[in-house]
Amino acid sequence: MFSLLQEKLEDAFRKLRGTAKISESNIADAMKDIRMALLEADVDFTVTKDLIKAVTETAQGEDVLRTVNPGQMIVKIFHDELVKLLGGGATELDLSPPQRILMVGLNGAGKTTTSAKLASWLKKQGKRPLLIALDLYRPAAITQLQVLGQQLGVPVCVPPAGETDPVKATRAALKWLDEQGGGVAIFDTAGRQEVDDELLTQLKQVRDLVQPSETLLVADAATGQQAVAVASKFNETVTLSGLVMTKLDGDARGGALLSMRQVTGCPVKFIGVGEKVEQLEVFHPDRMAQRILGM
Amino acid sequence: IQRFTKPDIDWDDLEASLIAGDLGPKLALQIVSDLQAQQRKLHGADIVQVARDHVRKILPESVPHLTPFADGRPKVLLIVGVNGVGKTTSTAKLAHLLQHAGHKVVLAAADTFRAAAVEQLQVWSQRLDAPLVKGPPNSDPAAVCFEGYEMAVKTGASFLLCDTAGRLHTKHNLMEEMKKIHRVLGRKDPTSPHEIILVVDATTGSNALQQAREFHKAIPLTGLIVTKLDGSGKGGVLVPIQQELKVPTRFIGLGEKVEDFQAFDSKRFVDELL
Ligand SMILES: Nc1nc2c(ncn2[C@@H]2O[C@H](COP(=O)(O)OP(=O)(O)OP(=O)(O)O)[C@@H](O)[C@H]2O)c(=O)[nH]1
Ligand SMILES: Nc1nc2c(ncn2[C@@H]2O[C@H](COP(=O)(O)OP(=O)(O)OP(=O)(O)O)[C@@H](O)[C@H]2O)c(=O)[nH]1
Ligand SMILES: [K+]
Ligand SMILES: [Mg+2]
Ligand SMILES: [Mg+2]
Query: From the alpha carbon of A274, which atom of ligand 1 is closest?
Result: 32
Buried b (16+ CB within 10 A) or exposed e, B213-248: ebbbebbebbbbbbbbbbbbbbbbbbbbbbeebebb
For the stretch B179-200, pLDDT in tens is 999 999 999 999 999 999 999 9
pLDDT > 90: percent of chain A = 65
Confidence of residue B5 (pLDDT cuts 50, 70, 90): very low
pLDDT at residue A79, as a whole number: 80
CB of B168 shorter than 6 A to ligand 2: no
Contact A251 B230 (CB under 8 A): no
Confidence of residue A6 (pLDDT cuts 50, 70, 90): low
What ipTM goes with this model? 0.96
For the stretch A163-186, pLDDT in tens is 999 999 999 999 999 999 889 999
pLDDT at residue A21, as a whole number: 57
Distance in Å, alpha carbon of A141 to nearest chain B alpha carbon: 8
Residue A293 predicted with pLDDT over 90: no
pLDDT at residue B57, as a whole number: 95
Q: Which residues of B touch A151 (CB under 8 A)?
A: 115
Query: From the alpha carbon of A107, which atom of ligand 1 is closest?
Result: 25
**Distance between Cα A273 and ligand 1 center (Å):** 11
Residues by chain with Cβ below 5 Å of ion ligand 4: A 111-112
Nearest to A157 by CA among A137, A183, A191: A183
For the stretch B114-161, pLDDT in tens is 999 999 999 999 999 999 999 999 999 999 999 999 999 999 999 999
Among B170, B205, B230, beta carbon nearest to A193: B230
Q: Which residues of A touch B26 (CB under 8 A)?
A: 36, 40
Whether the link from the prior residue into A166 is cis, omega within 30° of 0, is no
Mean pLDDT of chain B: 94
pLDDT at residue A14, as a whole number: 66
Q: Which of B83, B114, B164, B173 to mutate to test the pocket of ligand 1 (most atoms within 8 A of CB)?
A: B83
Segment A25-29 shows an average pLDDT of: 74
Q: Which residues of B touch A195 (CB under 8 A)?
A: 230-232
Among B85, B115, B230, beta carbon nearest to A148: B115
Contacts of A133 (CB under 8 A, 6+ apart): A141, A142, A145, A146, A156, A157, A158, A159, A188
Residue A1 predicted with pLDDT over 60: no
CB of A192 shorter than 6 A to ligand 1: no
Q: Are A294 and A1 in contact (CB under 8 A)?
A: no
Predicted structure pTM score:
0.95
Contact A140 B210 (CB under 8 A): no
**Interchain CB contacts (distance < 8 Å): A and B:** 138
Confidence of residue A92 (pLDDT cuts 50, 70, 90): confident
> Collapsing DSSP states into helix, strand and coil, what is residue B257?
coil
- Residue of B206, B237, B241, B274 to mutate, testing the A interface (most A Cβ within 10 Å of its Cβ): B206
Contact A107 B256 (CB under 8 A): yes
Which ligand has the minimum distance to the alpha carbon of residue B228?
2
pLDDT at residue A289, as a whole number: 77
Rounded Cα–Cα distance for residues A187 and B43 (Å)? 54
Rounded Cα–Cα distance for residues B27 and B33 (Å)? 10
pLDDT at residue B3, as a whole number: 37
Q: Crossing angle of helices A45-61/A256-264, nearest 10°? A: 80
For the stretch B47-59, pLDDT in tens is 889 999 999 999 9
- For B210, counting Cβ atoms within 10 Å of its Cβ (0-12 exposed, 13-18 middle, 19+ buried), the class is buried
Which ligand has the minimum distance to the alpha carbon of residue B203?
3
Q: By CA distance, what is A44's nearest residue in B?
A: B20
Which ligand has the minimum distance to the alpha carbon of residue B82?
2
Segment A232-251 shows an average pLDDT of: 97
Contacts of A110 (CB under 8 A, 6+ apart): A218, A220, A244, A246, A247, A272, B83, B84
Confidence of residue A290 (pLDDT cuts 50, 70, 90): confident
Segment A261-274 shows an average pLDDT of: 95
Nearest to A269 by CA among A285, A281, A283: A283
pLDDT at residue A90, as a whole number: 63
For the stretch A203-241, pLDDT in tens is 999 999 999 999 999 999 999 999 999 999 999 999 999
Distance in Å, alpha carbon of B94 to nearest chain A alpha carbon: 16
CB of A100 shorter than 6 A to ligand 1: no
The CA radius of gyration of chain B, in Å to the nearest whole number, is: 21
Mean pLDDT of chain A: 89
The residue type of B267 is: K
**Distance between Cα A274 and ligand 5 center (Å):** 16
pLDDT at residue A89, as a whole number: 61
Distance in Å, alpha carbon of A89 to nearest chain B alpha carbon: 28
Distance in Å, alpha carbon of B176 to nearest chain A alpha carbon: 16
